[in-house]
Amino acid sequence: MALKATIFKAELQIADMDRSYYRDHALTIARHPSETDERMMVRLLAFTLHADEALSFGKGLSADDEPDLWQKDLTGAIELWIDVGQPDEKRIRRACGRAQQVFIYSYGGQSAAIWWDQNAGKLERSRNLTVVSVPAHASQALAKLARRNMQLNCTIQDEQVWLADADARVQVDLTRIKVPPASGNARN
């Protein structure tokens, strides 16, 4: 018998002063049986950074041909493809061929640095790829915010991110390790 996904609900209030985006989102997040709280919360962080009414969670770990998050236009063309973790270089190149913009949110401390060192040369020519590193201490602190029912506030200002619930506040300082040429913005 296959294990089923665990369902998490998040009431998310976003105040993104960098993009002038102020909205509330009621999210349902399916956590794959093999997914950790840390990975799920980095997916939620990626949602907050790119929040839009058209942004949705993909099947992620359950499907090779879908990202963790994506945004499509009205014709079905993929505008934004977001993966979390340390995806395979071939998967990233395929995503770059399918989507207008591709973002990878890498986390895991030293293993993430090793992953990037191994893949940087192969991905350097990808002109629509942005790779962002989430510090290990921040992703681990985000994991501690994970609850089946969450009420979270996210504030983004001057490229600093704070995610908080009633009991704790986590500051996330992201590091861009690859940006597309002629683009200095790690978010859309």
Side-by-side strand order, sheet with 21-31: 21-31, 6-16, 149-157, 160-164, 169-172
Rounded Cα distance between 110 and 139, Å, is 13
| CA–CA–CA angle 180, 181, 183 (5° rounding) | 70
For residue 15, count CB atoms less than 10 angstroms from its CB and return exposed for 0-12, middle for 13-18, buried for 19 or more: middle
Rounded Cα distance between 92 and 9, Å, is 29
How sure is the predictor about 62, in pLDDT bands with cuts at 50, 70 and 90? low
What is the third-level CATH fold of 10-19+41-178? Restriction endonuclease-like alpha-beta roll fold (3.10.640)
Instruction: State which amino acid sits at residue 66.
Output: E
Check: CB of residue 72 under 8 Å from CB of residue 79.
Answer: yes
Closest among 47, 99, 91 to 69, alpha carbons compared? 47
How sure is the predictor about 182, in pLDDT bands with cuts at 50, 70 and 90? confident
The pLDDT value recorded for residue 3 is 75
156-173 confidence digits (pLDDT tens): 999 899 999 999 999 999
pTM of the model: 0.92
